[in-house]
Amino acid sequence: MNIRQKLTAMGLAGALALSGGYVAVFEGKENKAYVDPVGIYTICYGETSGVKKGMYKTDDECLESLANELVKHNEQMMKYVQVPLNTHQQAAFLSFIYNVGVGNFKKSTLLRKLNNGDYTGACNELPKWKYAGGQELAGLVSRRDTERKLCLGELVY
C-alpha cells in the first residue's frame, strides 16, 4: 500500500489523502530527528513541532503524525480560504502550507489572488516559494512545480 492508500485506510479522504502522498514524497521520511537545511530539528515527514535531538519514531508513528498534521494544516488553511476549492487545488495548497506554514500563507499574494477568484493566478504563485534560508533549493523548485501542476489540474492522480 502506498502512503495515499494508507491515509485513506486511516480515514482521511479526498484532498487530504492526495496531499499526503505528495507531502510524503517531497518531505521524505526520517525516523530519527535531523537538522533540516535551515537548522530546524525535523522528524518523520517534515514534522518540526516539539522535535528534539535524538528523537525517534516508528513508521506507524510517523504515518499517524502525518495524518494528524494534514488534518490540522487543512483546518488552518480553510479558515482563510473564502472560495470553493476542488480536490486537486485543495491538495496542492495543503502540500504548500504543510511546507511553509499557515502564517506565510495567510499573508501571501497567493491567498489574496485565490480569495479574489483568480485560481490560475493563485496556482501560478506557488513556484515563487522556492527559497529556504535565503537560498533557492532544487527540491523546493521541483515541489512547487508539482504543486502548481496539481493545482491547475495538469496531473493525473
Catalytic residues: 27, 36
Do the strands 131-132 and 30-35 form a parallel or antiparallel pair, or are they unpaired? Answer: unpaired
Burial class (CB in 10 A: 0-12, 13-18, 19+), 84: exposed
Distance set, CA 83 to CA 27, 77, 94, 102 (Å): 28, 12, 15, 17
Spatial CA neighbour of 120 closest among 155, 88, 91, 148 = 148
> How far is it, in rounded angstroms, from Cα 36 to Cα 91?
24
